[in-house]
Amino acid sequence: MLLTEPINTLVSENWLSVLIAFIVAIFGGGGIAALIKSRSEGSKIVVEAAQGAVVVQSSVIDSLREDLNAARAEINELRSHMTELNSLRGRVRELEHTNEILKVDNTRMESQIKDLQRIEMERGQYSDRHN
């Protein structure tokens, strides 16, 4: 055996036939059918995934709607409480004003009572002197 002779192995002799068999298997009758089938199944998978996403989005939207409605109800309740609170604040201001007026009247009347008591005492002393 000379070194100039080509080395023949099973792989080197059959590589062309293996390549041809591989190409025929992929693109041959069964390969094409599998490729076409995988494309339609791929579309079906994409459609099913999109439908699943729509279902998830729909449930999220429904949940958000429920949250929004609950928030709106709470806002309306708080507005009602604020209206009631503002009404009560107005009533408290009125009562405080009335209380101030009554305090002034009370102070004035206490002063009048003291004046009358002083006058009464002076009259009593005057009547005691003249009797």
pLDDT tens figures, 104-131: 999 999 999 999 999 988 888 766 666 5
pTM: 0.44
Q: Both tokens of residue 39?
A: 């494309």
Looking at residues 87-98, what average pLDDT do you find?
97
Tell me the pLDDT of the chain averaged across its residues.
76
Q: Does some domain include residue 108?
A: yes
By residue range, what is the domain housing residue 69? 12-124
Establish if 44 belongs to a structural domain: yes
For residue 114, give both structure tokens.
């003291």
Q: Is the pLDDT of residue 88 over 50?
A: yes
**Would you say residue 6 lies in a domain?**
no
d(CA 24, CA 32): 10
Residue 3, in any domain of the structure = no
The reply to whether 45 falls in a domain is yes
**Position with higher pLDDT, 104 vs 56:** 104
The per-residue pLDDT for 1 is 43
Mean pLDDT, residues 57-69 taken together: 88
Does residue 7 lie within any of the structural domains? no
Work out how many domains the chain is built from and give that number. 1
- 25 within 8 A of 31, measured Cβ to Cβ: yes
